[in-house]
Structure 1
């Protein structure tokens, strides 16, 4: 028997018993049925589909569910206000930091690429099912009763996700997750991933699938994910915090891919809040104080039971940090993670399989004290050479370069500039090229190294951009970094990749703007400048980026948008000759 997407199935049952008046749980009071007062979940709530997570016994004041519902209502109201204010105006994926000579990212979408689905009411649904308004049906006010896909479809979606989601963003161990997801247990069972996480994986699996299902489609899974993500944190799933965090990350990346900043940054903020409140930035730290910020996180994460469990938490923190810095680069948003205002002692991640191989696990508490990121930025790059660690370091350097350029648009901050420049030069030498073969044959670490290299070269571009007219050294590094990005494109053969991290569209557009600046400068010299070998070489670089971006316009709306902007710039240059 299939289960509804929004039903959390009970795992235990207990006999009914008489209960003193006024001691019933809040859910049984609302339903006006007899409650036996069992804790943490009474028998009535265990037996009734979809009610186990609402069983609670508030002693005084507002209940946890009431507080959570009020918070969700406020957030949804705020999202509605943002959507309303942007419905007839531009959505600003803009770069407010630029004030110099190079026209960096200036994204103004005339309308949202896509609209939020109308979640609609879910009350008065038949038992054992959930009624939601899907994007296709909301206009006609019809509803869809959606059950979890059959086992063969679940396996297809999960394998599509795990096999084709080749970008940063999934921090759980693949094999362990797959085994858990494919168990023949009801949706919401505590031995399976949380409902929000499963829904998010189905969402991405559907997006990456070559086939399309009429019922189990991307729009429907998005509705399910958004509905479940607010319910899970207030529930009792043993992995609700970590799985909720993973779902928030997947949603934020989904909206980044679509070029929808309002929703994407909203889910990023939720991910950062969960990360900090769960203390994931202080793993192995002497300052470790896991005091929850939100009542839904009580109790906090228990100590990890295995090395893999700790490894997943370490990966979770660095994944959130990378996503945070992606949005800094894409939208110009200030970092939601203040590196120097918040102590970050979580160690650099190993590969997840290395944690699996650790047979004996002894938690190391109080080991961190100097600040992992602070040491790296001070030039102490003595550890952290896994693919994820290098990726995180490159994302940090890009964010630091953007922030520095915003704070010191001229030649101020010379000491900080020199220090950051030295760290960039040292770091780029430590990153493997990742080019051992081409196309689909590239391993996940090789793909990560390619993105890491591109992130680092873009950080160099951003750091030196405002000094190219006054410093020959900055100009040389600026142009060399842009050429290095094109060199990576030629070697990696991106045309053979099935799926691409959306950050690459932003990095490639930034690289194109280097060539726009150079070609414009050459045109100012007239025919003499246009006939040079350098002009031909830079034009070829520009065309290489255009050709590569064109490959991904059908699968990534964000890259499609940037491709249009880059093509427009190139056409304008060609017409001015």
Structure 2
């Protein structure tokens, strides 16, 4: 018998005779192997699958000497000797040769950075490529983009301290380029914005996977800001998943112990990054976590997902004022406590406005959690409990809003107020239109919805006065979309001839924000299309007109998730009969034709990721 790596020998006639018994009577073989070699082969068992069955990848019944599959060609039915277990000799050498082959230069390594940009190649795997200046715009344009970031984006996402960046640019600058190219009007990059954006984004993603550091997570967070303001679909939302898991793995979810003591755990955690070197770095990590928290809450509310950062795991202090952050003394701010559970209002003299954005999104997240719980329509106790919790959260949100200190006019102040009103809309719109009502929204739910929707229309006016390039943000855009949708539903179900003035104001504001955040462009298309269909059609009548144009149905059909509705190409949806149970406690769209459940109502809109929607 040869080496383990040699092909297995063909079974001898003696082996076949021994296994087959009286059925097999072969003729004497000539030129057989020596007796010692034959004995070693006879001591080894045969495979349970014959060679032809193995080659054809079919089940073999292991009948000797000929299986049923080979009955027509008995001569082909051969059962090889089983090989010894373990790696074959030479396996290690073969793997070494393969690694050496992979490390040899490839045609992509021979392409210049300029050619890679023109051809749209992704980031090479080499870590040195992250410092290649040719993959970004010229240095003077990069400096302008950095200035745009600190002027227009940092005010509502303050995670990078003001600093002087110099070439060669680090990974944070690549992310800044991605998120700020939308704000640049430099004619030199008018035709190459998307190429620069994609190349820089690919480098940030590659760096985040290959390098574990605070700077890589900061860069990922800036990519997420670009993501939520763009038209990209679920395939790109892995960035958010990577971001939230990185926050947990790096220990950003809890406070660092400067005394050297670590919180007790059932198992010791592996420390991936060193403790912060100074106060500024400590606060930067804290703000980074809170931005990730805000993005997690926004993403889950707008998609129906579960939170990636549960409340009970968070042990973080709130972010401090910018003046304290830029100092050298270590500061101590209050630990975060949900608004529903805190004992007193934190001292505003210590806190950054970002702390109030965190609290606003916590309230929005709790409204989301309440409405994702399944309630049986016939269980009066569950229904009343949800109503009570809705009023409790509404009251807590109003009390929190009344306790807010005066905030400087700007994008942060606008987004905090917008999230607050969107929270009230999410909580109260569920009950604003009862199925068996008279057409007038019951109180206090109806008044709360209309008041908050109108307040968001007024915020659009304030943002316009500041200039949308300064005041707009994806969170603000989403909040105004929620208000526009509530106003549309309210006016449509009230059989009005056209949407109200506030709806038109929000629609105009979304159009003006579209050049900066393309998400606003998709909202604008959906609202305009629904408005156009409404104006050219007849008044809504469930009996006379049991189906609606798809454009209106996109806004009113609340049963489908956003992504299940993307593939709906029909222009009308068939009539749906209401169930025969007591419906007085349910919203109108739960039982009326073409109207669905509120659970998915605040998703990103249907058709958001469809071209030409």
TM-score (norm 2): 0.59
Alignment-derived partner of residue 559 in structure 1: 520
Q: Which residue of 227, 234, 240 maps to 1:255?
A: 227
1:378 alignment partner, one of 315, 338, 341: 341
Deviation track 1:262-286 (CA, whole Å, cap 9, x = no partner) reads: 2442111111111111111111579
- Is 1:487 paired with 2:471? no
**Equivalent-residue separation in structure 2 for 1:372 and 1:134 (angstroms):** 45
1:431 paired residue among 404, 410, 415: 404
Cα contact 1:431–1:453 (8 A) shared by 2: no
Cα pair 1:450 1:492 within 8 Å, conserved: yes
Residue matched to 2:141: 153
- Cα deviations across residues 134-192 of structure 1 (Å, max 9, x unaligned)? 485569xxxx9945554323322322322232564450102x2xx1x22x5x45xxxxx
Q: Alpha-carbon deviation of 1:426?
A: 0.9
**Closer, same or farther: CA 360–548 of 1 in aligned 2, 3 Å:** closer
The answer as to whether partners of 1:432 and 1:449 remain within 8 angstroms in 2 is no
Question: How many residues are treated as equivalent by the alignment?
Answer: 411
Please state if 1:473 is matched with 2:444. Answer: yes
In the alignment, the residues of structure 2 paired with residue 224 and residue 518 of structure 1 have an alpha-carbon distance, to the nearest angstrom, of 44
In 1, the alpha carbon distance for the partners of 2:225 and 2:118 equals 20
2:296 aligns with 324
Which of 168, 175, 185 does residue 200 from structure 1 map onto?
175
Structure 1 unaligned regions, length at least 5: 1-25, 33-50, 52-120, 188-192, 437-441, 524-528
C-alpha deviation, 1:328, in angstroms: 2.0
Distance 1:206 1:501, change over 3 A: same
Q: Matched residue of 1:315: which SS?
A: helix
> How much does 1:333 deviate?
2.5
C-alpha separation in 2, matches of 1:502 and 1:327: 11
Shift of 1:503: 2.3
Displacement, 1:299? Answer: 4.9
CA distance in 2, matches of 1:167, 1:31: 50
Larger Rg: 2
| Contact kept? 2:252, 2:286, Cα under 8 Å | yes
Contact 2:149–2:180 (Cα < 8 Å) also in 1? yes
Partner Cα separation in structure 2 for residue 205 and residue 138 of structure 1: 21
Tell whether the 8 Å contact from 2:229 to 2:474 is kept in structure 1 after alignment: yes
Q: Does 1:464 align with 2:428?
A: yes
TM-superposed deviation, 1:406: 2.1
Cα 1:149–1:496 shift into 2, 3 Å: closer
Answer 1 or 2: higher relative contact order, Cα 8 Å, separation at least 6: 1
SS of the aligned residue for 1:247 comes to helix
- Match of 2:151, SS? helix
Tell me the distance in 2 between the aligned counterparts of 1:317 and 1:356: 18
Instruction: Find the counterpart in structure 1 of residue 359 from structure 2.
Output: 393
Helix, strand or coil for the counterpart of 1:392?
A: helix
1:420 aligns with 2:393: yes
Please say if residues 200 and 225 of structure 1, whose CA atoms lie closer than 8 Å, have aligned partners that are also in contact.
yes
Report which stretch shifted further, 464-473 or 539-548: 464-473
CA 1:509–1:151 in 2, change beyond 3 Å: closer, same or farther? closer
**Aligned pair partner of 1:361 in 307, 323, 330:** 330
